[in-house]
């Protein structure tokens, strides 16, 4: 596998220990934004179009299901990629991973 990712009807923007106890409601495309989640590309093939294909397909599919906006949580390694694809920075926060490591996550949005 060289890359993965997609979009979701799940309310959670990104996973982590703080989300395990929350109820993960199903989104309503009439009022909610689609969640682009779990985008990863093998570093050795970065820049070859795999991430672009996954993101474009996710955006198109979410739109087919009636969503007109999307949101995602970008890590620092993907931030410039998403900006180049038209995603707008909304806010930054710190997420704590299950092993206690903290990472910066930038919440972004885009019209689909």
- Domain locations in the chain? 33-39+46-112
**Strands 3-8 and 34-41, sheet pairing:** antiparallel
Q: How does pLDDT run along the chain (112 residues), one tens digit per residue?
A: 899 999 988 776 555 545 444 556 789 999 999 999 989 999 999 999 999 999 999 999 999 999 999 999 999 999 999 999 999 999 999 988 889 999 999 999 999 9
Helix (H) or strand (E) holding 90: strand 88-96
Rounded CA separation 106/72 (Å): 8
CATH class of 33-39+46-112: alpha beta
């Amino acid at each position: 596998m060289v890359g993965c990712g997609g979009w979701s009807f799940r309310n959670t923007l990104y996973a982590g220990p703080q989300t395990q106890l929350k109820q993960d409601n199903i989104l309503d495309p009439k009022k909610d934004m689609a969640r682009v989640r779990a985008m990863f590309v093998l570093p050795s093939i970065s820049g070859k179009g795999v991430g672009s294909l996954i993101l474009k397909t996710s955006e198109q599919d979410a739109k087919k299901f009636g969503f007109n906006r999307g949101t995602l949580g970008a890590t620092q390694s993907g931030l410039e990629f998403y900006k180049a694809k038209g995603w707008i920075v909304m806010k930054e926060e710190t997420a704590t991973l299950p092993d206690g490591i903290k990472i910066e996550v930038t919440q972004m949005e885009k019209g689909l």
